[in-house]
Amino acid sequence: MELCVALDLPTKEENLVLIEKIKAHDVWLKVGLRTYIRDGEEFLKAIKEINPDFKIFLDLKLYDIPNTMADAAESIMGLGVDMFNVHASAGKRAMETVMQRLEKFESRPIVLAVTALTSFAEDEFQAVYESSIQQKANQFAKDAQDAGLDGVVCSAFESRSIKNITDVNFMTLTPGIRPFGEDAGDQKRVADVAFAKNESVDFIVVGRPIYQSQNPAEVVSKILAQF
Ligand code: C5P
């Protein structure tokens, strides 16, 4: 299992201070919408300057018509990130179009599909997708695999059933992790590290429990010790 730290602090400077504090650890860094919109490619370079071994997950959750998603994915190739994601609900054809566009590159980042956002409660999800989270997450995972993606973003509660219906190296990445039972915030479906490990999750994403802590490096160490 790998730990991915969400860089969701309000300013670039605060994110850089956080990265400095955890730079000795073997972790992935997740750059989300706010940070990327505000700080852009320069910020990605700044991360690699602090430690070139940091792996970067660009969490932009692409969702558009197939050609526009593929255009965006091709632009992402120029950023040198190690992982990015798209929404599975954009459809199988959109995911296939993205993967076909990346075929011309010698190597490419890991590409994941978002199934159900971990902030969804079951009834809220039902109102949008007219399906249970579990059922839809399984279907999205199959679509993503058929389209040639490497894995999905899901909650730790869906990881096991997705692993059961996909190939052995199909990956799951799970946000909504509260490593030691911390406050859930707006997340509706949260799990701890031990649960994620037991469900064969490949990547856990942890944001607030790390960056809101007095000692982020210590929280990172404690999480890694559980792996
Ligand atoms: O602070 P917290 O640990 O809840 O942060 C979770 C991170 O994972 C946030 O950056 C959020 O945008 C992201 N995320 C999520 N649920 C998804 C996909 C991404 O919470 N399904």
pLDDT at residue number 42 = 98
DSSP string, 203-221: EEEE-HHHHTSS-HHHHHH
Write out the residue range of the structural domain in which residue 154 sits.
Answer: 2-225
CATH code, domain carrying 33: 3.20.20.70
Question: What does pTM read for this prediction?
Answer: 0.95
Residues 59-103 pLDDT 10s: 999 999 999 999 999 999 999 999 999 999 999 999 999 999 999
Over residues 33-51, mean pLDDT: 97
The string of pLDDT tens digits covering residues 2-40 is: 999 999 999 999 999 999 999 999 999 999 999 999 999
Q: Out of 61, 188, 197, 222, which one is annotated catalytic?
A: 61
Question: How many angstroms does the Cα of residue 104 sit away from the middle of ligand 1?
Answer: 31
Q: Distances from the Cα of 140 to the Cαs of 39, 67, 192, 221, in angstroms?
A: 31, 20, 24, 33
Q: At 129, list the tokens.
A: 């997708």
User: Catalytic residue at 92?
Assistant: no
Domain count, the chain: 1
